[in-house]
Structure 1
Amino acid sequence: MDRLILISMLCLWAGSMPAVHGGDPIITFEWKVTYGNVAPLGVPVKGILINGEFPGPNINSTTNNNVEINVFNNLDEPLLFTWHGIQNRKNSWQDGTLGTMCPILPGTNYTYHFQVKDQIGSYMYYPVTDMHRAAGGFGGLRIHSRPLIPVPYDQPADEFTVMVGDWFNKGYTTLKKILDSGRNLGRADGVHINGKNAKGDGKDEPLFTMEAGKTYRYRFCNAGIKTAVNVRFQGHTMKLVEMEGSHMVQNSYESIDVHVGMCFTVLVTADQEPMDYYLVASSRFTKRELTATGIVRYMNGKGGPKPDLPKPPVGWAWSLNQFRTFRWNLTASAARPNPQGSYKYGGINITRTIRLANTAEKVDGKLRYAINGVSFVEPTTPLKLAEYYGVADKVFKYNNIPDEPPAQISNVALEPIVVNITYKDFIEVIFENHETAIQSWNIDGYAFFAVAIETGTWSPDKRMNYNLLDAVSRHTIQVFPKSWAAVFITFDNAGMWNIRSEVWDRHYLGQQLYFSSLSPNRSLRDEYNMRDGTLVCGIVESMPKPPPFSS
């Protein structure tokens, strides 16, 4: 069970009390990671549990909390967790990707240290090693606003984390073998809601319980590995209030598409006849619709849910139009790295444009996914460690992909991909999807402004259609088939940061890269030193630790 130290708990609730060790409050957790049987679709398979739970426990935190998670790896294989959407300011050492950290070996433990600095909202964590994400090990990460900073809606009666996603009954080890053999995973067997799917026989226990007349906060995250999911409540609307750390203009929706890797928060008011209702999650953009349901129960309600489920939307154009309704709430007070009123992103000059195009290619007869003609392979020495120890040239090459996709790809290269970015440059990144499958991209360490998604081919004149006023600041974005998406980023978070496909078979077979943004002054004001106790491996394992950055 999660352990929250008492003094941190008092600071968390009181807000004005002195923080631990004279700084921001520290909250601590201890996780024992084990195998266990799970059966989201009724078929038992080997899954990954955290403290015996599937999905894993929620991490409850408040803006600026320091989070310490001691992970005991009781698996028989290496393990790493990433904190999806947590910006880890100046601290890519704790990002939890194989390009920045050595994995936690079987039978050992490691304590992550990171701060949820200037952030609020709904996030998640999941394992990044091999295909572990397809086995579980994922859960919700909540960041509440500090008491002194008002939230643009009334305090809800309660809140619920809802992890949705696709599921494969083959088990993650079989999925890994399929990909290693050079084949595609194919379609998922189903979808789940918090690892469950109601049978609808009147015997299902409720996932959530509401009291008539009260309003509840639901935090949705898609922790699946390749399938977008639409979520909706039987008989209830959802008011969207937050998306990936940004307060939203509060529109109401009958249903919302949750693309892989994305999280958002809605308010649902229990304003219907007291009885049971279905929460529905169904696959999007698949030939065969996969549906899961869960029971939402009214206290003292009478009767089970009606059998008629609310119908899902049809087509990806509907999803594109929904994206265009998402707007950043510019009047809300909130914790954010660039405070309200001081960050006019639409008026900043772009210093560099990087266009990233995904492709599916065969290399030696096996399937690989590439970016601009290069497919990423994991080095035995994490990229960040190689850079810090001054042996980068022995592990990778900087800027080994072009800033725009080549007109024709003759041979796909297999190597680590690292793009060097000048510290504090304002960059435009264009994600181009020339394929017929929907894509989902995440950029670690940053919140970017999602200024446009459009069909067709990107060209500079398309900037005329950008939203330069209230685009949502977020960390994950979808790219529809034969379409493109544009984002703006200020690279003011020094470190080595992962840009990856959230479609995990594509990630596993090479659709990822790293941005390196180096502090020119080697100053603690820009980036933290490597922490004592950091795991080392590869060619740096026996090397002396470099001198620390100065203040």
Structure 2
Amino acid sequence: MGFNVAARGGVAVVLLFLIAITGAEDPYRFFNWNVTYGDIYPLGVRQRGILINGQFPGPDIHSVTNDNLIINVFNSLDEPFLLSWNGVQNRKNSFEDGVEGTTCPIPKGKNFTYILQVKDQIGSFYYFPSLAFHKAAGGFGGIRILSRPRIPVPFPDPAGDYTVLIGDWYKSNHTTLKTHLDRGKKLPFPDGILINGRGTKGGASFNVEQGKTYRLRISNVGLQHSLNFRIQNHKMKLVEVEGTHTLQTTYSSLDVHVGQSYSVLVTADQSPRDYYIVVSTRFTSKVLTTTGVLHYSNSAGSVTGPIPGGPTIQVDWSLNQARSIRTNLTASGPRPNPQGSYHYGLVNTTRTIILQSSAGQVNGKQRYAINSVSYVAPDTPLKLADYFNISGVFRPGSISNKPTGGGIYLDTSVMQADYRAFVEIVFLNKENIIQSYHLDGYSFFVVGMDGGEWTPASRNSYNLRDAVSRCTTQVYPYSWTAIYVALDNVGMWNLRSEFWARQYLGQQFYLRVYTTSNSIRDEYPIPKNTRLCGRANGRHTRPL
């Protein structure tokens, strides 16, 4: 690949770092990306979109378990930029997480080389821009991590493998939406739905051959709405959710909440013609719908008949579907033994964290909060402040581990957690909207969800046998969702709402998974190419 001079120097440093921490046995994959603005027309009007190597959406990342990904990103925008990796755990190295609390932005006209290792991971994920409101302009793309050849996969190789990025979309440019939020207003209802960057006009098309089976990796990369995905006259067999092989349940349609990713198998077993692929909003009084096409290679005609309808607005159907998604206990994961040395249901939790969302006004402007704290970004990334012992940037414990019942206030919220703790987190939703939460750096077991109040007695209904392990979970209106997570990844990790206006206006915090150890066994050294900014500017990274 044709790296520029700055990139070549950065990659050399990166290679030395990686060789030092991982050895030379795991393969390297190199990516050279140029991030630019460009005209896009997803809903038929010209917009200023964010392109990666001229593409909207951006290029897919194809990798295999344990690969080292060296991604050189050159920022040709007129403002700082960051990419984050939704679901890629990047073990022991939160410096590269690509969110404002861990990583300095890439200045305009400069590059940065991300160092990622998809250690002990498989599955379907995506990347996206995390700063400002760039996510509303594009800059996202799919990530697929294939199993190593010696590890069996619980289904035959499909005839094809497609990335399907779905999401709500606005005709307004991202700068207009950001200004709207900065003025203290709520985000309006979106203008449409996209499938791989296309609306209904000139919609996305996927080619299949009659009798063959295909894998679709579906990710909701939108800003705020849960979406239902379905294919006219075709069934979908769910096989993987964010890195976990699932029981192979067949569905007519699938709810994909914001930030979530699913893999389904679809067999082209119908008469040879074109069929609607349909995506529509869920739990909204006004339903937005867009369509693509499943095109048979020997098609006898274009799509016909009415667009197939989706489920009703009630949540019971979606809740029951969510509960039906279970781990395939007979399947291997990244390693031959998917359970490792213990089973999550046999381990006692050491701490319970209860998180409740809220919305309200602070100083006359709309804000969102967790446990009454609405997050405000400091002038220095939290991870750098932690590493360099810079005082005054954040306080561990600045957010309570239980709802306070008080009004919303602003703070740089960081919750302290012990390395190797096994934690129960309960998300409470007392609002009349569905919500979606993501934890960077981790997968967690979704052990329970239900309507009404959560109490300790709710644990009697937990699934302690085959709950699905994933990195993003939904919380239904006036409901709760409980997860178990083993805090085995040292670092500063973002826990956030995946509703991007809520995240932008404070519904997030950072989990500081801490140990007194300075061993490379527990956390890798700060990468030599780490950008330093804020009060960390001018400091020196320690030698390898």
TM-score by length of 1: 0.93
Aligned partner of 1:15 in structure 2 is: none
| 1:204-283 matched pairs, under 5 angstroms | 204=202, 207-283=205-281
Residue 22 of structure 1, CA deviation: 2.6
Partner Cα distance (1:31, 1:21) in 2:
26
Partner Cα distance (2:290, 2:305) in 1:
13
What's the secondary structure of 2:324's corresponding residue? coil
| 1:183-202 matched pairs, under 5 angstroms | 183-199=185-201
What's the secondary structure of 1:527's corresponding residue? coil
Partner Cα distance (1:129, 1:227) in 2:
20
State whether structure 2 residue 288 is matched by structure 1 residue 286: no
- Identify unmatched segments of 5+ residues in structure 2: 4-21
Residue 545 of structure 1, CA deviation: 3.4
Aligned residue among 519, 528, 543 for 2:524: 528
Render the CA deviation track for 1:264-309: whole Å, top value 9, x for unaligned: 1000001000111111100111111101101111112110011311
Percent identity between the two aligned chains: 52
Residue 521 of structure 1, CA deviation: 1.4
Partner Cα distance (2:23, 2:452) in 1:
54
What's the secondary structure of 1:22's corresponding residue? coil
| 1:12-91 matched pairs, under 5 angstroms | 22-91=24-93
Residue 544 of structure 1, CA deviation: 3.6
What's the secondary structure of 1:543's corresponding residue? coil
Distance change (3 Å), C-alpha of 1:339 and 1:249: closer
What's the secondary structure of 1:506's corresponding residue? helix
Q: After alignment, is 486-495 or 517-526 more displaced?
A: 517-526
Aligned partner of 2:349 in structure 1 is: 350
Aligned partner of 1:113 in structure 2 is: 115
RMSD of aligned alpha carbons: 1.6
Amino acid at match of 2:444: F
Aligned partner of 1:518 in structure 2 is: 514
What's the secondary structure of 2:420's corresponding residue? coil
Residue 197 of structure 1, CA deviation: 2.3
Amino acid at match of 1:347: L
Render the CA deviation track for 1:30-82: whole Å, top value 9, x for unaligned: 11100011122112111100011111100000000000110010000110010
Aligned partner of 2:481 in structure 1 is: 485
Aligned residue among 416, 420, 442 for 1:446: 442
Residue 387 of structure 1, CA deviation: 0.3
Aligned partner of 1:305 in structure 2 is: 303
Partner Cα distance (1:465, 1:285) in 2:
25
State whether structure 2 residue 406 is matched by structure 1 residue 409: yes
Render the CA deviation track for 1:290-330: whole Å, top value 9, x for unaligned: 01101111112110011311110012221111001101001
Partner Cα distance (1:184, 1:111) in 2:
35
TM-score by length of 2: 0.94
What's the secondary structure of 2:95's corresponding residue? helix
Aligned partner of 1:507 in structure 2 is: 503
Partner Cα distance (2:184, 2:128) in 1:
25
Partner Cα distance (2:23, 2:52) in 1:
29
Residue 179 of structure 1, CA deviation: 0.5
Contact 1:81–1:126 (CA under 8 A) maintained in structure 2: yes
Distance change (3 Å), C-alpha of 1:263 and 1:337: farther
Distance change (3 Å), C-alpha of 1:437 and 1:303: same
What's the secondary structure of 2:178's corresponding residue? helix
- Identify unmatched segments of 5+ residues in structure 1: 4-19
Moved over 4 A (4+): none
Contact 2:196–2:204 (CA under 8 A) maintained in structure 1: no
Distance change (3 Å), C-alpha of 1:370 and 1:21: closer
Aligned partner of 1:459 in structure 2 is: 455
Partner Cα distance (2:402, 2:2) in 1:
46
Distance change (3 Å), C-alpha of 1:67 and 1:547: closer
Partner Cα distance (2:477, 2:294) in 1:
35
Render the CA deviation track for 1:409-440: whole Å, top value 9, x for unaligned: 14x22121111101100000011111111110
Aligned partner of 2:387 in structure 1 is: 388
Residue 465 of structure 1, CA deviation: 0.5
Partner Cα distance (2:375, 2:209) in 1:
50
Distance change (3 Å), C-alpha of 1:32 and 1:43: same
Residue 21 of structure 1, CA deviation: 7.1
Residue 533 of structure 1, CA deviation: 1.2
State whether structure 2 residue 314 is matched by structure 1 residue 319: no
Residue 517 of structure 1, CA deviation: 1.1
Residue 333 of structure 1, CA deviation: 1.2
Partner Cα distance (1:337, 1:394) in 2:
46
Contact 1:119–1:143 (CA under 8 A) maintained in structure 2: yes
| 1:131-210 matched pairs, under 5 angstroms | 131-199=133-201, 204=202, 207-210=205-208
| 1:361-380 matched pairs, under 5 angstroms | 361-380=360-379
Aligned partner of 1:11 in structure 2 is: none
Contact 2:61–2:143 (CA under 8 A) maintained in structure 1: yes
Residue 244 of structure 1, CA deviation: 0.5
Aligned partner of 2:464 in structure 1 is: 468
Partner Cα distance (1:286, 1:41) in 2:
20
Partner Cα distance (2:433, 2:204) in 1:
35
What's the secondary structure of 1:394's corresponding residue? coil
Residue 547 of structure 1, CA deviation: 6.9
Aligned partner of 1:96 in structure 2 is: 98
Partner Cα distance (2:40, 2:347) in 1:
49
Partner Cα distance (2:337, 2:520) in 1:
20
Residue 206 of structure 1, CA deviation: 5.9
Distance change (3 Å), C-alpha of 1:416 and 1:295: same
Residue 456 of structure 1, CA deviation: 0.7
Partner Cα distance (2:149, 2:543) in 1:
40
